[in-house]
A and B are shown apart, each in its own frame.
Chain A
Amino acid sequence: AQTVTQSQPEMSVQEAETVTLSCTYDTSESDYYLFWYKQPPSRQMILVIRQEAYKQQNATENRFSVNFQKAAKSFSLKISDSQLGDAAMYFCAYRSLPSGSARQLTFGSGTQLTVLP
C-alpha cells in the first residue's frame, strides 16, 4: 500500500515571499500521479497542481510549482509571491496509474499554511 507523509504540520510565510511545503511518499509502482490540494476554511478541496510520475519536467501552475524527485520519492510544492488568499491547509496526494485500480487518492496529513501580512 502507498503512504504519503507531510512532515510539516504548520508553516508560515510573509506576504510576497516564497515558501516550500514538503511531501514524501512510499510506493513500489513506477507510474502514478501526484497532486497538491488546497483546503481553505470553507473546507472545499481545490486541486492546485498535478504531476505525472513518467514526466521528468516539473509541473507549474502560475505561482505554484513542484520539485519532483522520483528516485527520492519526494514531491514538494513551492508557492512564489505568497498572497493572503493562499492561507489554507495543503494536502499532498497519490494516485495509482493503472486504469483497473480503484483510483482513490491517498492523502498525507496536511500542512497548515499561514500567510503573514
Chain B
Amino acid sequence: NAGVTQTPKFRILKIGQSMTLQCTQDMNHNYMYWYRQDPGMGLKLIYYSVGAGITDKGEVPNGYNVSRSTTEDFPLRLELAAPSQTSVYFCASSKGLAYNGNGDEQFFGPGTRLTVL
C-alpha cells in the first residue's frame, strides 16, 4: 500500500492563478481531509469528506473547493490564488463511519508546499 499520496510536492503560483492539489489513498478509507499548515502553526482543517459525493467545510474553507467523485481521490482546488494561501497542504484519510477503534487514526500524505507570489 502506498498510503496517502499527494502531488505536486512543491508549486509556485502567481496571484490570481488556479491549480488543483491531488490526493489519492489506497486504503479504502471513507473519510478524507485537507489541512493547511502555516509557518510555526498547527494544522487547520479546510474541507473534509465522509464518502464519495459528500463534502463539507472545515475551519478555513474560503478560497478553496473540493470534490469527491471516487473513494480514492479528493482533489483540492484553488481558483484565484492569493498570497494568504501560501502554506503547506496536507491530505489525510481515516476509516470513518462507525469506526472508533484506535481513535479512527488519520494517515497523512507527505504534503504540498505552495507559494503564491
Binding site for B on A (CB under 8 A): 4, 9, 33, 35, 42-45, 47, 50, 52, 91, 93, 95, 97, 99, 102-105, 107-110
**Are A33's CB and B103's CB within 8 A?**
yes
**A95 with B104, Cβ < 8 A, contacts A42-B110, A103-B31, A103-B94 known:** yes
The A-B contact count (CB < 8 A) is 61
Q: Which residues of B contact A42 (CB under 8 A)?
A: 110
- Interface pairs A-B: 10 shortest CB-CB: A107-B42, A45-B108, A33-B103, A104-B45, A43-B111, A50-B103, A107-B43, A99-B98, A109-B42, A108-B42
A115 to chain B, nearest CB (A): 20
CB closest chain-A residue, reference B57? A102
Known A93-B42, A105-B45; 19 more pairs at CB < 8 Å: A9-B40, A43-B111, A43-B113, A44-B108, A45-B90, A45-B108, A50-B102, A99-B97, A99-B98, A99-B100, A102-B45, A102-B56, A102-B58, A103-B96, A104-B59, A105-B43, A105-B106, A107-B42, A110-B42
Complex Cα distance A110/B106, Å?
18
Complex Cα distance A97/B105, Å?
12
A57 to chain B, nearest CB (A): 15
Q: Which residues of B contact A107 (CB under 8 A)?
A: 42-44
